[in-house]
Amino acid sequence: MNLRFVETFLWVARLGSFSAAAERLGATQASVSHRIATLEQELGVALFDRDSRSVVLTPAGLRAIPKAEEILRAAAEFQLAIAEPGQIQGSVSLGTNDVIAHSLLSRIMARVRQRYPGITIDLQIETSSANTRALFDRRIDIALGMGTIDDDRIINAQYGAFVPVWVASSDFLLPDGKLGLADLANRPLLTFSRDSVPYRGLMKQFADAGLNALSVSNINALITMIDLAVAGFGATALPRAVLGKHLGAGLLRALDVDPAFPVFTHYLSYLDVNENPLVKAVADIAFEIAAEADDPDLFSAYQKGPHL
């Protein structure tokens, strides 16, 4: 039995169409159709009911899913345990956000390439909410972002927290010294999109203080937010780890705001049924990098070593 055919069966079942499975696998729709037809012929059963608009699993197809996942997991675990790391082939899709992309991502990628040169990392840099949707849709294997994903099918592993700092341009009209939220309430503020954890944290801080933030601009691109802050369009609270060059060059100044902004807590999330052990290999490397980056002024790693 061809393992590629078993993998193809799973992706058709998960995505509900031959065309979507073909895109996910980097194959043609005709090739996917051929693989499924050959597998059905070998097994002597129909795995899908097909019509012009969709494919639906037959009872035999439904029974086949857990066994197919078990076969692929065992085969991949065998390869990971026995093969030389340099001979291991495969891909892992990682969805993460701008904060990771501009802090730890290059180190994660370099370590994966060094240890497993045959593993390809497919990247999706998106908001945490977009990566959550992609994880459920099986378009990514790992989501590394802010906040947990509340679903019984998802495993959430605490990854780490970035230390925040309020910043503004040097000519932004704010007094020197200690500031309170009341000093910011009437000023233009910049933060992440409305469905983000930082936005909700900002709104909660002002609500708890009995204040309204009168001018809040929502931006889903970290670099754009930094550029706007440098240009004087508003104050913003961001991870200090992504601001080193701007603070060092005097393009932004750190503000002493009490209370401090909530830390940017990150989690590594993946589907509990993921049969790809390369996910574990890449995730373990991500945790290694987090532990090495542990710095009380920039980033606090929550866990050390392998955790999946």
Give me the CATH number covering residue 76. 1.10.10.10
**Token couple for 102:** 């501009």
* CB 98 within 8 Å of CB 221: yes
Share of the chain above pLDDT 70, in %: 97
| One domain for residues 221 and 286 | no
306 within a domain of the structure (yes/no): no
CB within 8 Å of 244: residues ≥ 6 apart = none
Q: What would the mean pLDDT of 153-164 be, rounded to a whole number?
A: 93
pLDDT at residue 54, as a whole number = 76
Query: Does position 108 have pLDDT exceeding 80, yes or no?
Result: yes
Residue 231: how many other CB atoms lie within 10 Å: 11
Residue 188 lies in a domain: yes
pLDDT higher than threshold 60 for residue 306 = no
pLDDT of 257 > 60? The answer is yes
Domain-embedded: residue 28: yes
Characterize the bridge pairing of strands 235-239 and 188-191.
Answer: parallel
Whether 155 and 276 share a structural domain: yes
Choose the weakest-confidence range: 27-36, 43-52, 71-80, 255-264. Answer: 71-80
Residue 37 confidence (pLDDT): 94
pLDDT tier at 262 (50, 70, 90 boundaries)? Answer: very high
Model confidence at 112: pLDDT above 80: yes
Question: With bands split at pLDDT 50, 70 and 90, how would you rate the model's confidence at 150?
Answer: confident
Residue 101 reports pLDDT greater than 80: yes
- Between 66-75, 111-120, 158-167, the lowest mean confidence (pLDDT) is in 66-75
The top-scoring range by mean pLDDT among 75-79, 169-173, 237-241 is 237-241
Q: Residues 152-180: what's their mean pLDDT?
A: 92
Mode of pairing for the β-strands spanning 188-191 and 215-218: parallel
Contacts of 225 (CB under 8 A, 6+ apart): 190, 191, 192, 219, 236, 238
Across 191-218, average pLDDT: 95
On the question of pLDDT at 219 being above 60, the answer is yes
Please check whether residues 244 and 271 belong to one and the same domain: no
Phi, psi of 91 (to 5 degrees): -140, 150
Q: At what angle do helices 3-15 and 18-25 cross, to 10 degrees?
A: 120
Tokens coding 241: 């780890």
Dist CA 221 CA 12 (whole Å): 34
Q: Is residue 245 included in any domain, yes or no?
A: yes
**Shared-domain flag, residues 135 and 280:** yes
Q: What element of type H or E holds 256?
A: strand 253-258
Same domain, 66 and 28: yes
* Average pLDDT taken over every residue of the chain: 91
Whole-Å CA distances, 269 to 12, 145, 147, 153, 244 = 23, 8, 10, 10, 28
User: In angstroms, how far is CA 230 from the centroid of its own chain?
Assistant: 27
- Closest of 251, 235, 231 to residue 243, by C-alpha: 251
Q: Which of these three, 82, 114, 144, is where a domain ends?
A: 82
User: Is 73 in the same domain as 112?
Assistant: no
166: confidence class by pLDDT, cuts 50, 70, 90:
very high
Residue 307 lies in a domain: no
Query: Is the distance from CB of 274 to CB of 280 less than 8 angstroms?
Result: no
Owning domain of residue 190? 164-262
Give the chain's domain count.
3
Query: Residue 308: inside a domain, yes or no?
Result: no
**Which residues, 6+ apart, have CB-to-CB distance to 218 below 8 Å?**
191, 192, 193, 194, 199
Please report the pLDDT score of residue 259 as a whole number.
96
Q: Are residues 169 and 258 in the same domain?
A: yes
